[in-house]
Amino acid sequence: MLLLQVKPNLIEAGTDEAGRGCLAGPVTAAAVILPPDFKCPELNDSKKLSRKRRYELRPIIEKEAISFHVSHVMMEKIDEINILNASILAMHQSIKGLESKPEHIAVDGNRFKPCNEIPYTTVIKGDGKYLNIAAASILAKTYRDDFMETISREFPNYDWHKNQGYPTVAHRHAIKQYGSTKYHRKSFKLLPDQLSLDL
């Protein structure tokens, strides 16, 4: 059973990101403030849920949340400041986009930077421990999947609607065959050495 908050006596936002390990597309983060009486037994780490279940839970989270916000940080910024900093930037943007200012931030993972002088706690695997982080993980994942599905129609050879930009064998073979696109992260190693890319 997931706990509601890290600091239950405060207005707390949970935040998480999706897409750090992808070769293409943005890194996406969400921040969510849930009400103290929020209950959803099905809610869990987005990676442990089916795609269908994530999309079923999204409108419940959005309806019940006191406030939520989702933010993309695009490929150019990822290449400029690196994926860790881009992930933290996406979380900061999501937190700053909340209608209610939180008194505490619960962050999935072990790396973060101060945001608007709000106290925060990092929680390793927090999306499997706290409801507000789990809710943020579902919003980040589904909104990023929506983005990847949209750009997959622009570049259908890469199957982003199936692999979401992750380094699958099929994705890497498509990069080898068709080259990289404007949505690929140029600072990432798009191909292993044995499949070197001629740019």
| Cα separations in angstroms, 142 against 9, 46, 91, 96, 188 | 29, 9, 16, 20, 23
Bridge partners for 105 per DSSP: 13, 120
Q: Which of 183, 64, 87 minimizes the C-alpha distance to 140?
A: 87
Query: What is the pTM assigned to this prediction?
Result: 0.94
Structural domain includes residue 55: yes
Q: Which of 130, 99, 136, 95 minimizes the C-alpha distance to 112?
A: 95
Tokens representing residue 141 in the block: 């994942």
The b/e string for 63-98 (b: 16+ C-beta within 10 A; e otherwise) is ebbbbbbbbbbbbebbeeeebeebbbbbbbbbbeeb
Total tally of structural domains belonging to the chain: 2
| 142/57 Cα distance (integer angstroms) | 10
Structural domain includes residue 93: yes
The answer to whether residues 12 and 119 touch, using CB atoms and an 8 Å cutoff, is no
Do 48 and 72 share a domain, yes or no?
yes
Structural domain includes residue 89: yes
Structural domain includes residue 1: no
Phi, psi of 97 (to 5 degrees): -85, -5
Structural domain includes residue 199: no
Do 51 and 130 share a domain, yes or no?
yes
Do 77 and 136 share a domain, yes or no?
yes
Do 103 and 170 share a domain, yes or no?
no
pLDDT of 199 = 44
Q: Which of 183, 157, 155, 180 minimizes the C-alpha distance to 170?
A: 157
* Helix residue ranges per DSSP H, the chain: 51-64, 75-81, 83-96, 131-154, 160-163, 169-178
Q: Consecutive 10-residue runs of the chain (199 residues): their mean pLDDT? A: 92 98 98 95 86 96 98 98 98 97 97 97 96 97 98 98 96 96 96 59
Q: What residue numbers bound the domain in which 133 lies?
A: 12-146
Indicate which CATH number applies to the domain containing 105.
Answer: 3.30.420.10
| Cα separations in angstroms, 52 against 57, 80, 90, 148 | 9, 34, 25, 16
Secondary element (H or E) of residue 29: strand 27-33
pLDDT of 194 = 54
Do 68 and 97 share a domain, yes or no?
yes
Do 139 and 177 share a domain, yes or no?
no
